Amino acid sequence: MAAAGEGSYGLVIGGVEAPAGGGESTELLDPATNRPLARVAVGTPDDAARAMEVAQGAFDGSDWSGGDGARRGKALYRLAQLLDEQQEEFSLLESRNMGKTLREARVDVGYVVRTLEYVAGLADKVEGQTIPVPGSRFNYTVREPLGVTVHIAPWNYPLLLAMRSVVPALAAGNAVVLKPASLTPLTAVRFARLAKTAGVPDGILNVVPGPGGRLGEALVRDRRCRSVSFTGSSEVGRRIAVLAAERTIPATLELGGKSPVVVLPDADVDRAAKGIAFGIFGNAGQMCWAGSRLIVHSSLRAPVLDRLRAIAEAMRLGPGTEEGVEMGPLVSREQEGRVLDYVRAAREEGGTIVTGGDKPSSSALAAGNFVRPTVVADLPPGARAAREEIFGPVLSTFSYDELDDAVRLANDTPYGLFASVWTRDLASAHHLARRLDAGMVVVNEPPLTFPQTPFGGFKESGLGTEQGAGVVAAYTRVKNVLVNVAVPRKKR
Ligand code: NAD
């Protein structure tokens, strides 16, 4: 496989990296230039079946699953150390593949290191219960690994979101098959190489890049698949839910969002504007939890919009790998087109473009998938750009006078992933935290999460949670054991 820049990447099945069975590979482009970046194998349904078979064999045959959690924890902790040592190489690769800035990629890789450390510590703390029952009986529960778990990841935080579910599934003793997004598989393949060095047995972590429809569905449909963790769009998430239901397996779904940011009249305007900008322009707006609907008290509308415009216009756009760049390109030309289509729709539906709304004028950026940070005002709340997930650096803004109206606007969406509130008043903060219909609410912070706190959406944003102290147990099944311990009477 001839390749440019980052070389060639295969499928990792049973600890061996190899081309796809059908021999097909595809060229990935650098989002900042649209020049060739790397070549990657395109897995087929046959590769899916082979990965599942190898994973099942490793689950049944290695001492990973039956062995003790402490050993798995040690391997994961070793993996954290190795990843930490290679943090810069991983960050550079993620930045070149996905387009995010090197600074953002470093945060992502650091987050994976922290996830590995945290989950490693949970691996030997998956406990059953003893439950009192009547009579001479002893009842206890055991938590067992599920078997082969399938993980399907999106392209916006390629390594971080894959590992958010893969690492706890490994800690619980499962064998994993991961399908990264077609556009961004490079760090996942590199991670599988590292897992081998850390002592994760061959076949326990398999990575199969390829298209969602053909390959992803084949993995979920496979009779050996015992659970699926999906992070991606709500549309595909619904499809995964149907496939999982047909096979009676659990599905964790982490889906889309259109998250509200509510600014109360007493908010610290400078702090709020910085946080709002970070929450919509970070990762070039390609965040499930982007604060994409600003709901600001009418008394602060002008100062907040002024500051947002100033921040947006001062942001330095450029290739993610260039030091000092604050916003990289969108992941693909297709994504760029999609975002610009939404801006066009916003104009047609009565929106005023406060800033941005087009590609930057610099000729140095013309070949890349760049869109300027954009703020839209005056959109009717029912407009497409105000309701649908754009997944780009586009903020829609609304104002309110009464708090009840702010809450109504905030909750008037099919999504329920995330919400943020800016206020100096503690009582209002807690009051809104209760009333906002979202799986996560932050106050006076841009989007922020930690491996030890739960992450999950309400309504069409998902089903189940990732992260938190229960995350390893979530990849187990509960077996109840009842033993009659009555001592038999001796016959006289
Ligand atoms: P997507 O749904 O198009 O794809 C996600 C993954 O699913 C990819 O690996 C893709 O190849 C695969 N896939 C596509 N069709 C499939 C099918 N029929 N069967 C099995 N797999 C299939 O999403 P995307 O464009 O990669 O990512 C953007 C979306 O992800 C946004 O909606 C965003 O909000 C969401 N997201 C959610 C979270 C969260 O934690 N809630 C995090 C990041 C992204």
| Amino acid 5: pLDDT | 67
Q: Is the CB of 244 under 6 A from ligand 1?
A: no
Q: Do 422 and 264 touch, CB atoms closer than 8 A?
A: yes
Q: Is the CB of 233 under 6 A from ligand 1?
A: yes
Q: Is the CB of 209 under 6 A from ligand 1?
A: no
| Amino acid 66: pLDDT | 86
Q: Which two tokens stand for residue 168?
A: 């706890």
Q: What type of residue is 302?
A: A
Q: Which two tokens stand for residue 51?
A: 């990965």
Q: What type of residue is 345?
A: A
| Total residue count of the chain as it appears in this document | 492
Nearest-angstrom CA–CA distance, 357 and 352: 10
In what helix (H) or strand (E) does residue 226 lie, and over which residues does it extend? strand 225-231
Question: Among 254, 304, 309, 321, which Cα is nearest to 281's?
Answer: 309
Spacing, Cα 89 to ligand 1 middle (Å): 25
Q: Which residues contact 128 (CB under 8 A, 6 or more apart)?
A: 140, 141, 142, 143, 478
Spacing, Cα 154 to ligand 1 middle (Å): 4
Residue 254 designated active-site: yes
| Amino acid 492: pLDDT | 67
Alpha carbon separation from 357 to 302, 312, 334 (Å, rounded):
19, 11, 16
DSSP 8-state secondary structure symbol assigned to residue 298: G
Side-chain-side CA neighbours of 410 within 13 Å: the count stands at 30
Nearest-angstrom CA–CA distance, 62 and 253: 29
Nearest-angstrom CA–CA distance, 98 and 186: 10
Q: Is the CB of 466 under 6 A from ligand 1?
A: no
Alpha carbon separation from 14 to 38, 47, 176, 223, 286 (Å, rounded):
23, 12, 11, 19, 33
Q: Do 409 and 388 touch, CB atoms closer than 8 A?
A: no
Question: Among 384, 456, 455, 417, which Cα is nearest to 256's?
Answer: 417
Question: Among 44, 53, 50, 55, which Cα is nearest to 215's?
Answer: 44
Strand partners, 36: 29
List of the chain residues with pLDDT < 50: 1-4
Q: How buried is residue 45: exposed, middle or buried, by Cβ count under 10 Å (0-12/13-18/19+)?
A: middle
Spacing, Cα 334 to ligand 1 middle (Å): 15
- pTM above threshold 0.95: yes
Q: Which residues contact 221 (CB under 8 A, 6 or more apart)?
A: 243, 247
Catalytic residue among 288, 336, 389, 460: 288
Q: Which of 151, 225, 233 to mutate to test the pocket of ligand 1 (most atoms within 8 A of CB)?
A: 233
Question: Among 120, 119, 117, 138, which Cα is nearest to 129's?
Answer: 138
DSSP 8-state secondary structure symbol assigned to residue 327: B
| Amino acid 71: pLDDT | 96
Q: Is the CB of 285 under 6 A from ligand 1?
A: no
Q: Where are the alpha helices (DSSP H) in 201-320?
A: 217-221, 234-247, 269-281, 301-314
Nearest-angstrom CA–CA distance, 295 and 356: 19
Could you tell me where the beta strands, DSSP code E, fall in 78-222?
A: 137-145, 148-152, 175-179, 205-207
Q: Is the CB of 154 under 6 A from ligand 1?
A: yes
Instruction: List strands edge to edge, sheet with 16-18.
Output: 16-18, 11-13, 205-207, 175-179, 148-152, 225-231, 251-254, 462-463
DSSP 8-state secondary structure symbol assigned to residue 178: E
Side-chain-side CA neighbours of 78 within 13 Å: the count stands at 13
Supply the residue whose CA is at minimum distance from atom 43 of ligand 1: 288
Residue matched to tokens 């930490």: 84
- Residue 159 dihedral angles phi and psi, to the nearest 5°: -80, -45
Atom from ligand 1 closest to the CA of residue 417: 41
Q: What type of residue is 44?
A: T
In terms of DSSP bridges, do strands 251-254 and 225-231 run parallel, antiparallel, or are they unpaired?
Answer: parallel
